[in-house]
Structure 1
């Protein structure tokens, strides 16, 4: 006897029918969700914490993507843009920087009247729940509107209701801590001004901060590699500039340098970092487990921990925390989630993206079925859906929201027909979850 998995259609009764779908985040995946809903005639509101669309990408806009343009543009978004007269001026096979993605694609998309009129900027979502229900109440739950508490840039706090929620808020603003335990290191609060978020603009806006200084880069993934390459170039031009690469595992190289990688920009990272290490420009300290941070005079920082079973210390002027990212789950305490115990991704998705088994290009097609939670009508998509797994590509997020929005529109056939063609070869990150992944 064959058992069929039957997924119920979304509940949209009279109470919910007049409410919009609430999208958290106006980044590339949130905007793609909006574009798909526009095509389906489904009302929505985008809640964006920043003052502009793609606010997180703008923070690392100097960094180049691995993927070329053809993998970075959502099909529904392209159709809407082209209908307005838009055309991509760059070559489809070229990999853009983050700022180029914003200027050429995301900003024009967010400015389309059918999308821009529905974005609330400066609106941070601090909590998600059901109207009149905490997570313990079950009776009538599926028919109750979602209620989002938001804080506006001017300090106002209000609550907004919707028929469904698509959380595309990303993870860039919630980095993994520096300590190997997964907790903030002891003493971190005393040296906050000497710890820099991942992907600083070493050769541009932040150059003066790093020139002539000793910087320790913590992390073993592509975010660390990008920063190490920038610091290596700076060290050749600026006297007394020193660079130390600190990782927790014995192996120093966590990025692909394979000539067969279908994403050439990704393959180049490993080779370039290896050259800086071989030439002595970048000093590697492996097997270092951070436990405590201390200030040093006049404005330095001391990293205290263990290395190969013995006490160890590294001192520097600055630390770049390229330790990867994690989802902000605090805002979701009152909704019913089903997350994997290890990577904090949706439970059905987690086996497909386990970084111990999969690279960016070996993830199976997935959509609403793998992304659903016990809380009907609530979905986490994009980078946040991958939890702590650093193997996300934008094209994956675009297929996620195409499927999710089809399900929200009651189109189960389209929602179930998930297809995904990814560039293969090359591991985004393996083993060490302290390595962030950048960029798609």
Structure 2
């Protein structure tokens, strides 16, 4: 989920000559034939994808702050349902990962609804994106950026590195406090919930932020384990940098059993996340996070695909978690797919590095730069997994991002989810947070 990213960025050693991305004529297309964040404003030729009209930037009638966001499309019915029997008819619109999921589970299906381009952001983010388009530069071999703040750094991307940085630096609000659950669902359907209370203080996207005052900080992140009781009280703090050459990220963990704070030497790349049954590496949080130096990045262009979108039904208050977590897959009766244009980016592992995922293919929403799906391949070229981000427009901010993340392990016939919030208080985007809440000292105080 976009709000759960740890941003495990690490520095790379090589240096790439910095260069501006687009000229003034190209940048002027933003807000004209392109949306303010770089998507195509016009509808698709067949009209299935409508024109972007500003997105869902205001709450619907009856919404009150603190509610689980009511579904503005609740009255709609699927325009088609895809399962293993008819998947071949929609081959061009399905990712390899979705085809594999349908083939592995005959009862699974994709319910495809009318398309709504609901992604929206504040006007200041659009203004910053317009500035970034002419001033943003890749530095340090593509492992850092400069000349940007607040908005999308490369709204008219020239390569895969620029596109993935757009995802990493997309707008996610200014601060947030929230509680969610995660679960590793095994092949027999069993799982245990891990409840986490989390805080994020974003720096890059804050109001008034400019390249001059950014001071090389991307965000601060903290979580505290709430349940189960045997793990309750353990906590983590991350201080994340933007320019990974100047300063790498820092992380500390408070272990309840030891009652002490320890600096973590490594929490990135293929380091396994705890309590995920070995399924989730550090860099799969938020669909992808961290330094891009271990992969070669290729921009494969833009395609129309069936992807998770406007997942309000999955987000609603009071849904029992056992109704969401089915054996083999997330309950398809709660999922929503739509046809959208996505940027396709392929990452191939560089020689000399190891990772369970030797190749990843990312599908990025043209309207928000949120990664919506990822195909995962091993070193033999075999498709072994699928990631999904099920997003909504948080119209009270406004911003667009995932309400639940899922990671399917096809080999083990199991999956991992993060973001279960149906029976927890809704996100507080106005939480009274400050950088001093994200220090080793603060972590130590909370643990005592």
TM bin (shorter chain): under 0.3
Q: Give the TM-score taking structure 1 as reference length.
A: 0.24
Question: Larger relative contact order (C-alpha < 8 A, sep ≥ 6)?
Answer: 2
Higher helix share: 1
